[in-house]
Amino acid sequence: MADDLPLSAEFASADEARWLALAEKALDGAPMSRLTTKTEHGVPVKPLYRSPDWAPDASGMPGMAPFIRGGRATNDQYLPWDIRQVVSHPDPALAADQVMEALEGGVSSIELRVDAAGDHGVVARSSVDIQRVLNGVKLDLAAVALEATGASTTQGIELAALLAAAVGGRASGEAQVAFNVDPIGALARTGALPGSVEEEIAQAASFARDVAAEFPKATYLRADSRPVHEAGGTEIQELAYLVGAGAEYVRALMTAGLNADQACSAILFTVSVGADYQVEMSKLRAARRMWGRVAQAFGASGAGMKLQAVTSRRMLTRRDPWVNILRNTAACFAAGVGGADIVTVRAFTDAMGLPGKLARRLARNTQVIAQEESSLGKVVDAPGGAWAMEKLGDDLAIAAWALFQQVEREGGLAKALVAGGFQTGVADARGARIKAAAKRKELITGVTDFPLLQEEVPSVEVVNLPAIVRRAAEASGRAPAARSWFSLKGAAQDRATLADLSRTADDEGAEAEPLWPIRLAEPFERLRDLADQRTAAGRAPKIFLAALGPMAEHTARLQYAQNFFAAGGIGAVPSVGDAIWHAQAVASSGCSLACICGSDKRYATDAIEAAKSLKRAGVARLYLAGKPGELEAALREAGVDEFIHVGVDVLASLELAHAELGLL
């Protein structure tokens, strides 16, 4: 049938020379290199990829080594990927309700985020708490994953013991569990481990070996590059960290007695995915390409990478959070089409606090709609064969492989973290990223671009954390006889609490510079908070916008200035007229800040007189929208304090404006 329907017959054959001619004409003399962009780490992204960029069979086939195109040959027609939702309500009883709500609402697995202090997760301190949260969950049908966070970040094995004790008697042999023990990740997040790195990794490997007989369908360790992403790192640093952590764990697992295939299958790989779906899909391909090479080096024969993708928190905003729905949707698309085995979509209110019912529903429905209505999982490896994806994925893998090799030369990822060189590279990337956001080179819709001062704020859960913590179990004194897995599990079955099971740090505990998470919108959101406080007191911060000339001349720069200052929570008072009119209007407006807006031609005739008039009227700080060119000296002499235009440090300008208004 396909041969009888030549859909391309009506189109002329593609001709690269003609495309180049049209591109050069559109560039109007600018170099062709302008069309080539770069990823965060400097990997080029070309405007056009062709067949010479990638051999058709270079990536192999889905479900076959080196597993670049995914670990499965076909997708489940009903569940192309595992829809996993995080449950983190501090109250175990309410967390249990949310678990059932999620499963009944369409998710296929649960990630239980646990924090004994309750600041970032469920206050689950005993196996009884875990049982309460998972009451009614059929673990042979719905997988349950653990995430140790907050105060419990370094208690991965202890939490695993509580889960194993809670699951006891519920057909653990069929239970689909992801224990997610990750000492390297704990070191990266907190900067400290109770024991040495070697000791902690060896204990994690011994745990995986010992628990495997009871939970054969589980994964035991987690190689998680999210600390790098959320700290502002590049895609190359994420990939090098991810594969470096996996290599560390495979070495330890094989030392503990597992063979290469068993060791590779024991690990769940987790990455963050952002909204740039071309780069993110290529990143997933690069991860599988790199891991295929590493697994082959260890001697594994059929070790496909089990990959979980979690939407980025770094990209989410607290202001105008509704835009986060679009960001999450783009990231979900990249993860699902890119071939992730498990996808977790964060709540769009994640930056605001515990998600409410609407946010939880939208998080899971984003995936349900992607699968059932958009049919994104109907085709296995949809990007496969696309020269752009294949070539970019290979370029990312090559660049990341060089960094991975450097980490290996330093003795492995754990030692590289202790030495601190890896964190220095991430810090450099974070600084560049923050600078780009401050200059609006990296736009944040709803915050730095098109900010909405009169926003509708969605609700989040409000909890009485002290009351929840008071009800939680304290240490019982049933400490394990030893640090072995069997002793830990036995004590957990005997009602030992997380505090009973956990060890205190010794003098030789590992220390490293932690990878602190960021959100790019935070600096601007702090300014918005200060502006809101002044508004609540009845004195909303505002700036007078003096428009020169007719609407066709001033509209573009008037809107630019309005958005510029709204990013700091400063509202606009627009005015159209001549210098005399503006001087009278600004005096009655009560504004101490003003900005002149018009065309370059109008500036040459009217801006100097307007600046003098506004300054005489009492304006404390005067701006002009646009580059001054040859008029700069004259405009500054007339009273203009600052010129705002594309490329300036917007954040620094807004901070000065806030200082002038007395907000800082």
Is residue 660 a contact partner of residue 592, using CB atoms and an 8 Å limit? yes
Within 8 A by CB and 6+ apart from 515, the residues are: 188, 189, 227, 228, 230, 231, 233, 423, 426
Q: Is residue 306 part of a domain?
A: yes
**Chain centroid offset of residue 269 CA:** 15
Q: Is residue 464 part of a domain?
A: no
Same domain? 236 vs 381: yes
Lowest mean pLDDT: which of 73-82, 264-273, 450-459, 557-566? 73-82
> What tokens does 136 get?
């009614």
Q: Which of 212, 134, 118 is nearest to 166 (CA)?
A: 134
Q: Is residue 587 part of a domain?
A: yes
How far, CA to CA in Å, does 374 sit from each of 280, 363, 378, 386?
A: 19, 16, 9, 20
Same domain? 348 vs 235: yes
**Chain centroid offset of residue 169 CA:** 38
| The pLDDT value given to residue 638 | 96
Q: Is residue 231 part of a domain?
A: yes
Same domain? 23 vs 101: no
> What tokens does 276 get?
């740039």
> Phi-psi bin for 647: left (phi > 0), alpha (psi -120 to 50), beta?
left
Looking at 510, 536, 556, which one is the last position of a domain? 510
Within 8 A by CB and 6+ apart from 97, the residues are: none
How high is the mean pLDDT of the chain?
92
265-311, pLDDT tens digit by residue? 999 999 999 999 899 999 999 999 999 999 999 999 876 799 999 99
How far apart, in whole angstroms, are the C-alpha atoms of residue 84 and residue 126? 24
Q: What CATH number is given to the structural domain containing 533?
A: 3.40.50.280
What's 495's DSSP letter?
T
Is residue 287 a contact partner of residue 269, using CB atoms and an 8 Å limit? yes
Instruction: For residue 345, give the amino acid letter.
Output: V
Same domain? 230 vs 116: no
Same domain? 241 vs 208: no
Q: Which of 518, 520, 519, 535 is nearest to 455 (CA)?
A: 535
What's 583's DSSP letter?
H
How far apart, in whole angstroms, are the C-alpha atoms of residue 452 and residue 36? 33
| The pLDDT value given to residue 483 | 86
Q: Is residue 517 part of a domain?
A: no
Looking at 465, 482, 510, which one is the last position of a domain? 510
217-270, pLDDT tens digit by residue? 999 999 999 999 999 999 999 999 999 999 999 999 999 999 999 999 999 999
Instruction: For residue 591, give the amino acid letter.
Output: C
How far apart, in whole angstroms, are the C-alpha atoms of residue 584 and residue 433? 43
Instruction: For tokens 């020379």, name the residue.
Output: 17
396-430, pLDDT tens digit by residue? 999 999 999 999 999 999 999 999 999 999 999 99
Q: Indicate the pLDDT class of residue 171, thresholds 50, 70 and 90.
A: low
Q: Is residue 591 part of a domain?
A: yes
Model pTM score: 0.93
How many domains are contained in the chain?
Answer: 4
CB-based burial of residue 627 (10 Å sphere; 0-12 exposed, 13-18 middle, 19+ buried)? middle
Same domain? 331 vs 282: yes
Q: What CATH number is given to the structural domain containing 381?
A: 3.20.20.240
How far apart, in whole angstroms, are the C-alpha atoms of residue 479 and residue 496? 7
Same domain? 112 vs 70: no
Same domain? 270 vs 409: yes
Same domain? 164 vs 231: no
Q: Which of 573, 560, 544, 553 is nearest to 626 (CA)?
A: 560
Same domain? 395 vs 327: yes
Q: Which domain holds residue 213?
A: 90-217+474-510
Is residue 118 a contact partner of residue 490, using CB atoms and an 8 Å limit? no
Same domain? 422 vs 388: yes
Instruction: For tokens 């307007």, name the residue.
Output: 610
468-495, pLDDT tens digit by residue? 999 888 888 888 888 899 999 999 999 9
Same domain? 416 vs 337: yes
Q: Is residue 603 part of a domain?
A: yes
- Strand intervals (E) in 274-333: 307-311
